[in-house]
Chain A
């Protein structure tokens, strides 16, 4: 099956720094990638949808200047959490679709901001 690689799996950073998370589709071209956020014991909340070569579409309440998304190629999307603060600590998961209704999920990144 299709594989989505997400890196890093875990990151710990100091407050005020920026963190970049990568999401790669390894064996298919992802026309659309999605970024989700999951708080402990809660569900996944869609943050934004990104299409290759165009600006990401953010969900209501998600700060686009805080969470920068770049989808520069059909196999790579990045999420940068800028000036991270402790309240940004969460589990971030990406998924990728190749045009149909199936999304393939990455293993997630646990971000801890001190």
Chain B
């Protein structure tokens, strides 16, 4: 059974810092991995999707990497801003039927 773990559970940093969020998964047989953002009491916004054949994806200040063999992904956020404060979730799709298995999330706070 696929399990996804995110470390740390919470992170608080000053504005402007670069930071890394970590995600690990137990079964390397995945189709893709996604990073989502969730604001309090809201739904999910997809940030980046990495196919199993890819190593990384970039969007603006965000860069996500994938090492499928070791079961790890990182989300790098450059020059953090208070507006980046949210919970970040990673999810892997594997086993067909588009089923996503989510990690517990990292609650990020960027302090002005």
Q: Do A and B bind each other?
A: yes
Binding site secondary structure of chain A? strand
CB distance from B73 to the nearest CB of A (A): 15
CA distance A76 to B93 in the complex (A): 23
Among the 9-residue stretches A11-19, A61-69, A81-89, A105-113, the one with 4 or more Cβ atoms under 8 Å from chain B is: A105-113
B35 within 8 A of A: no
B104 at the interface (CB under 8 A from A): yes
**Structural contact, B43 and A6, CB atoms closer than 8 A:** yes
Residues in B neighbouring A101, C-beta threshold 8 A: 31-32, 49, 93, 98
| B-side interface size class | 20 to 34
Residue on B nearest A4 in the bound complex, by CB: B43
The number of A-B residue pairs with CB atoms under 8 Å apart is: 56
CB distance B43 to A107 under 8 Å? yes
B interface majority secondary structure: strand
Q: Does B104 lie within 8 Å of A42, measured CB to CB? A: yes
Given A105-B44, A107-B42, A43-B97 contact (CB < 8 Å): no
Chain B nearest CB from A50 CB (Å) reads: 11
Scan A1-42; emit 1 where CB is below 8 A from any B CB, else 0: 000001000000000000000000000000010100000011
Q: How far is the CA of A107 from the CA of B43 in the complex (A)?
A: 4
Range, interface on chain A:
20 to 34
Chain B residues with Cβ under 8 A from A57's Cβ? Answer: 97
Cα A44 to Cα B4 in complex, Å, equals 11
Contacts A43-B105, A101-B31, A101-B49; A108 near B43 (Cβ below 8 A) = yes
Q: Which residues of A contact B103 (CB under 8 A)?
A: 43
Give chain B's interface residues, CB within 8 Å of chain A.
Answer: 4, 31-32, 36, 41-46, 49, 89, 91, 93, 97-105, 107
